[in-house]
Amino acid sequence: MLKKTLSCAIISLVLLGSAVLPSAVEAAPKHTQLQSQSQSIMNQYQKLISTTKEAANIIKFLDQNIAKVNRQQADSMILKLEAFYQSDLERTQNQFFQPGIQEKLQKSYNWKTKKLVTKDTQLQKLVATKLAGKYKLTTEEGSVFPIVDYGALKKYSSYLSGEVKDYIALKALESDKPWLSDAAIIISLDELAARTIAGETYLTKYPQSKAKKDATNIYLEYLDSYLYGMNNTPAFDFDTYRLRTNVLTSFNKTIKTYPNSVTAKVVQGYVNVLKKHNYQVFIKDGLEQRGIPEVEAFKKNVHQQALQELAKKQTKPSTVTNRYATAGIENASEFEAFFKKVQQLAAKGDKAGVAGYVAYPIQVKINGKKVTITTKEQFIKRYDQIFNNKVKNALKNQKVDQTFVNYRGVMVGDGELWFNVSLKNQHQFFITSINN
């Protein structure tokens, strides 16, 4: 019991970012306090998101609090924000179609600078409020209106799991660069194919995703548009009803570029059907177009076929638990290999090697005083004072599969060292804290 209580004391201390306290009695309540604080934040967030009418208020709360909760709670925050957008988007867009608003926007919004130049305070407030809520203005068929700026939500990526981070990235593909305007595809077919593959990749990687329904809809919409085109950019020639040459070229490129994908398999199936009919998508019947039974049957079943093939590819949930997931580390074996490498470097006294895996700047104690080390060179120079016997012994004796893990990282010993993953690269890890 004493050992367990002491561990709690150390854990709570590192969470607070302070030096290790000798008293477990003092530290344990702080650990509980942190948990209570994060739950209180989530309760406040739920109340806010249930009552507010503006996304701007939610964004402000997220900016102030998302760093104070764990990764699972941060995921929940972003998914609830997404649900808010889904229910609020129509109301928000309708505000831009109230009498006189469109006319004022057309005259006063500068698309190059993304700034509103007007003395109309009502219009200024409307636009500013929506932009603060991470909406962005776009235009279609001569109208100006807001859409969700998912690219702007990427700033929260470092707090999120891979599942939610990648979902936001998938949504941002569209908001950053729309593929459709005025019923016409406005990006290249190859880029549309790449987006289709991105949707497939997400569904394959996260078969149990909380955003699976929306991600599936995104994938199927991209797939349909790639196969058949849109009203103003159909995949077939208007005069002959035959598949356009550039579309067939893109189809063949996709089959070659992504040979093991579900998308390529579906595209190949479509090409095979069309080839039987000299690439006719429809038959010209006087002034009318008539469907070809085999082609129409393919179209009717394409969604079912794609989803069945996806189900075969989707990674089954692993029965092996990733004990480092709470820290945001997605690849356990890579982290453990890194951990053992640092142990080996420290055991050999490889100062430069250890210094290369430190996240700078880092605060340490030298001669009893706190000192901030900002470069690898400074670390090497003061190595023996930083990586003293206390730190080296803690690292030497620590078994990686027995480390304590929380959303702050992976702890060594009694908090002498903390490790975590890079915010920019899931395959890079660093020493993030040294309590020497």
**Which one-letter DSSP state was computed for residue 290?**
E
Q: Give residue for tokens 């660069």.
A: 177
Tell me how far CA of residue 338 lies from CA of 73, 80, 311, 333, 379, in angstroms: 28, 35, 34, 9, 19
Asked if residue 152 lies in contact with residue 171, where contact means CB atoms within 8 angstroms, the answer is: no
Q: Taking a C-beta distance cutoff of 8 angstroms, is the pair 186, 225 a contact? A: no
The answer to whether residues 413 and 397 touch, using CB atoms and an 8 Å cutoff, is yes
**Residue 430, strand partner residues:** 420
pLDDT tens for each residue of 246-286: 999 999 999 999 999 999 999 999 999 999 999 999 998 87
* Two structure tokens written together for 245: 């040459």
Lookup: tokens for 34: 């942190």
What is the enclosing helix (H) or strand (E) of 412?
A: strand 409-412
Q: Which residues pair with 185 in a beta bridge?
A: 180
Rounded Cα gap, residues 182 and 143, in angstroms: 11
- The b/e string for 353-368 (b: 16+ C-beta within 10 A; e otherwise) is ebbebbbeebebeeee
Q: Which region, left, alpha or beta, applies to residue 136 given φ > 0 means left and ψ of -120 to 50 means alpha?
A: beta
Find the DSSP H helices in 139-211: 162-176, 189-205
In degrees rounded to 5, what are phi and psi of residue 374? -110, -15
Amino acid at 150: Y
**Burial tier of 350 (Cβ tally within 10 Å: 0-12, 13-18, 19+):** middle
Q: Are the CB atoms for 327 and 429 separated by under 8 Å? A: no
3-state SS assignment for residue 286: coil
Distance CA 207, CA 188 (A): 29
Question: How confident is the prediction along the chain (436 residues), in pLDDT tens digits per residue?
Answer: 434 443 443 333 333 333 333 333 333 344 445 567 888 999 999 999 999 999 999 999 999 999 888 888 899 999 999 999 999 999 999 999 999 999 999 888 887 787 788 889 999 999 999 999 999 998 887 888 999 999 999 999 988 888 999 999 999 999 999 999 888 999 999 999 999 999 999 999 999 899 999 999 999 999 999 999 999 999 999 899 999 999 999 999 999 999 999 999 999 999 999 999 999 999 988 778 899 999 999 999 999 999 999 998 875 555 557 888 878 788 899 999 999 999 999 999 999 999 999 999 999 998 889 999 999 999 999 999 999 999 999 999 999 988 888 777 899 988 899 998 886 677 889 999 998 8
The span from the CA of 24 to the CA of 5, in Å, is 6
Question: β-pairing, 369-373 with 404-406?
Answer: unpaired
Given a contact cutoff of 8 angstroms between Cβ atoms, the answer to whether 35 and 18 are in contact is no
Contact 37, 68 (CB under 8 A): yes
Q: Which amino acid appears at position 392 of this protein?
A: K
Measured in degrees and rounded to the nearest 5, phi and psi for residue 356 equal -70, -10
Q: How many CB atoms lie within 10 A of CB 107?
A: 10
For residue 225, the one-letter residue type is: S
For the beta carbon of residue 105, count every other beta carbon within 10 angstroms.
21
SS3 99: coil
For residue 105, the surrounding DSSP H or E stretch is helix 101-108
Question: At a CB cut-off of 8 Å and minimum separation 6, what does 313 contact?
Answer: 204, 262
Contact 273, 295 (CB under 8 A): yes
